[in-house]
Amino acid sequence: MLVRRLNHYNVLTTDLDATTTFYERVLDMKVGPPPSGDRLRGAWIYDGEGTPVVHVQFVDPAEPERKFADIRKRLGEMADGLSLASMQGTGVIEHIAFECTDYDTVAARLRDNGLAYRANEAPMARLRQLFVKDPNGITLELNFAMA
């Protein structure tokens, strides 16, 4: 198999604090500096094994073209359609899934933080699931193995 596992996904946000706070407080993930080392420009968010799985990049809403130009330089024509309006939600990606532990604690954190979520059971896959949106409107699927 050529692909072994998801390495990370990248989120563009105009609210870096709300984004990092959500992943830290609600999902108990750790936040660290981005690859550039500049915490004002973004962050890495780490899973429970210490692997960076979410790369967050800050887009200044007063000067979005500055960040978009950097992205276009890296991605070329694959960066078409960048705009502040395109930065909300999951787009063509329906959701991002995380393998999680402690269903009751996570559900309580979602409730305690006033977050709307949907619970689901997938008995054929032996999973309990919680679906929630992060501060950028990205749908997260939180999967918990059934005993």
Tens digit of each residue's pLDDT (9 = 90 or more) over 121-140: 999 889 999 999 999 999 99
- pTM for this predicted structure: 0.85
- d(C-alpha 122, C-alpha 131), whole Å: 13
Question: Where along the chain do its domains lie?
Answer: 9-145
Tens digit of each residue's pLDDT (9 = 90 or more) over 13-63: 999 999 999 999 999 999 998 877 777 789 999 999 999 999 999 999 999
Domain over 9-145 is classified CATH 3.10.180.10: yes
Tens digit of each residue's pLDDT (9 = 90 or more) over 107-121: 999 999 999 999 999
Q: Which of 65, 73, 77, 49 is nearest to 12 (CA)?
A: 65
* Tokens standing for residue 117: 């979520």
